[in-house]
Amino acid sequence: MTDCLFCKMVSGEIKPDVVFEDDRLLAFRDIHPQAPLHVLIVPKLHIANLNELDDADLGGRLLQTAAGLAEQFGYAESGYRTVFNCNNDGGQTVHHLHLHLLAGRRMVWPPG
């Protein structure tokens, strides 16, 4: 999608701080990190949000990539949080599906 921020990152028009890439996914550091590690994992295909995800393999790969990056950055044992924000009440601001991976501090519950 031409006017989508994360599609521009996938195409290379905008260059984020990439921490992982494969044939279907790109992961990069959030520009406004909410934790010492804050990574966004996005499908290369434009999917607006979780409501539009109908590919179980892709969903599984998003989650497994988050767990793999948590392990790689040393947070598998101490813990981490993964979040999909969906639409307005979910707090979604970029309408290209992305999984947040947050780690390196104690998270609180309930979330804000």
Q: Which residues are catalytic?
A: 98
Residue 80: beta bridge partners? Answer: 103
91 close to 22: Cβ distance less than 8 angstroms? no
Q: Can residue 106 be called a binding residue for ligand 5GP (CB under 6 A)?
A: no
Q: Can residue 91 be called a binding residue for ligand 5GP (CB under 6 A)?
A: yes
Q: Can residue 79 be called a binding residue for ligand 5GP (CB under 6 A)?
A: no
Q: Can residue 15 be called a binding residue for ligand 5GP (CB under 6 A)?
A: no
| Residues 82-111: x where in contact with Zn ion by CB under 5 A, - otherwise, as a string | --------------x---------------
Number of residues that bind Zn ion (CB under 5 A): 6
Residue 107 CB, shortest distance to ligand 5GP, in Å, is 15
The span from the CA of 112 to the CA of 84, in Å, is 14
Closest CA to 98 of 32, 37, 28, 31: 28
Residue 36 CB, shortest distance to Zn ion, in Å, is 27
- Helix (H, G, I), strand (E, B), or coil: what is residue 38? strand
The span from the CA of 47 to the CA of 30, in Å, is 19
